[in-house]
Structure 1
């Protein structure tokens, strides 16, 4: 064979070999699939509340003061507390044994001494996941004029319930 024919044959074989390899690469199979992803939701844990305590604005008959409430969020996600409710049937406890009629009430007393029937609403008390925090509630306690004389100097605790919802991070 002549040199030019040999070169042409070798070049043709090389083109066929390269083209065949390209075809083999193009012939790769696609792999697709579908299925169901799974996840489990946690169960919400109840917020833990320490009794509200009078903190400032020392109470006296017809006086209004602040209260502090400590709330623990045992959940892994943030929570915003929107309402705090006191049930007057739970009463108010005093640290003095002879102070039976405390005359102390819980609610929103910011506008008047009538209050809000034991409810603080439209609050925005935010707790991160796992956080325990004490909040000061302005004008949340009021002492009426029928408080017993034995209640002078007493410290008061008030059982309250809180409600709220999960919050954005």
Structure 2
């Protein structure tokens, strides 16, 4: 949305408002959080249909999923601010999806590959998103916060970078 708005006169009209760059970015972020929560609940519903046993941990997992959602929203905002709408589609659509799937311990056990691949995967936030949600569903509550802190740290830094870059773009466009 950010990259499309940057390509139209809409963004110029936004600049006329008294909002600060953080306000613009929050305006793009806040509506996406409930959408992400709804998407998580629909996914959990289908998981129940396909055999996931019902437990209260599913509802907690939906709440926990807000942090990874914030991470991906932040990445989208940063990319939308930095790149054209076509590049964002490529980066966030294909590259980010595949990168996060390969490095998240979903498709295969990262420890089987080991070495530098495992170290990179453990440094990035994607495996920590999955670990937090797995811990939640399994009821291993003590493991949730350390994993979420890792993810939230990445999300906060990326979100701040998006705000700073948006501020810079805003000054260049005026």
| Same fold per superposition (TM over 0.5) | no
- TM-score, structure 2 normalization: 0.26
TM-score (norm. length: structure 1): 0.26
Task: Say which structure is richer in helix.
Answer: 2
Structure with more strand by fraction: 1
